[in-house]
Amino acid sequence: MSDKEKDAQQPDGKAAKKKSAGAKKPAAKKPAKKKSSAAAKKPAAAAQKPPTSEEPKSEPEEKRGPETAEEKPAAEAAEEKEDGISEEEFRRMVEESLEKVTVADIILNMMNDLASLAYMKMGLPESVNLKYRDLDQASLAIDTLEAIIKAAEGRVSPEHLQPFRGTLANMQMNFVQLRRG
């Protein structure tokens, strides 16, 4: 047995295949895992792990040789698996979530955004938002919130509207004090 053959032999007595120095080790295929919706929102770069010392570093596409017709679909499938879900699966998930959203949900979100914006445009709290003070914009946000509350009465549940009524009264009181001061 030559020295090369002895080097290639594993401890259990079986001969190992000798790889040429230029040959790349193919990346091991991992089973696709179903990710949660929170994980699906992460950018693709954040979902990919850096190569370990066991995995060869992938060269940029422009440095690699041309792919064969068989390799290209496999590369696209691997890309889908690394992202977690295919474009079709993502579209289906978005459609399902949109089916569950009600107009009342959107109205309540808008009211919340308007209330937050009104406080910011009033410059409240002053330690954080004074630089954003614009009382004309605050007035528009407050008046719009009041109009939406009136339009939603009897159509959106009272337990959802009640906190906004209290917020509106507080904002109106603060606004008057800011105008006088």
Residue 61 lies in a domain: no
Residue 176 lies in a domain: yes
Residue 137 lies in a domain: yes
Contacts of 165 (CB under 8 A, 6+ apart): 149
Residue 35 lies in a domain: no
Residue 76 to residue 45: CA distance in whole angstroms: 16
How many domains does one find in the chain? Answer: 1
Residue 41 to residue 54: CA distance in whole angstroms: 29
Indicate the DSSP class of residue 61: T
Per-residue pLDDT of the chain (181 residues; tens, 9 = 90+): 555 554 545 444 444 444 444 444 444 444 444 444 444 444 444 444 444 444 444 444 444 444 555 555 555 555 555 668 899 999 999 999 999 999 999 999 999 999 999 999 999 999 999 999 999 999 999 999 999 999 999 999 999 999 999 999 999 999 999 999 8
Residue 72 lies in a domain: no
Supply 26's token pair: 């193919």
Residue 169 to residue 180: CA distance in whole angstroms: 17
pLDDT at 179: 96
Residue 174 lies in a domain: yes
Residue 121, domain extent = 102-180
pLDDT at 83: 63
